[in-house]
Amino acid sequence: MGLVIYVKPNCPYCQQARDFYKSKGVKWTEYDAQNDRARRAEMFALSGDDPTVPCIVEDGEYVSSGWGNPPRG
């Protein structure tokens, strides 16, 4: 299953997450949680209804929402 990132278009924090994983050579699957209602519902189910993006899921397990320190999104 691997890494999944739920994003919204033009989100700078989503881009930071992409840049980070790309720099580490990690491949991921990306879903648009803003425009795809089914993926948004999926993200909410995984994150406990947290609407913050990026939403990071690894091997089907929720990891975190937001990006940075402190996480923003």
Residue 43 domain-assigned?
yes
Q: How high is the pLDDT of residue 1?
A: 66
Residue 71 domain-assigned?
no
Q: Which two tokens stand for residue 64?
A: 């975190």
Residue 70 domain-assigned?
no
Residue 52 domain-assigned?
yes
Q: Which two tokens stand for residue 31?
A: 């879903």
Residue 72 domain-assigned?
no
Residue 73 domain-assigned?
no
Q: How high is the pLDDT of residue 27?
A: 97
Q: How high is the pLDDT of residue 58?
A: 97
Instruction: Identify the domain containing residue 53 by its residue range.
Output: 3-65
Give the DSSP H or E segment for 30: strand 28-32
CATH code of the domain covering residue 61:
3.40.30.10
pLDDT tens-digit profile, the chain (73 residues) = 699 999 999 999 999 999 999 999 999 999 999 999 999 999 999 999 999 999 999 999 999 999 988 778 7
Q: How high is the pLDDT of residue 32?
A: 98
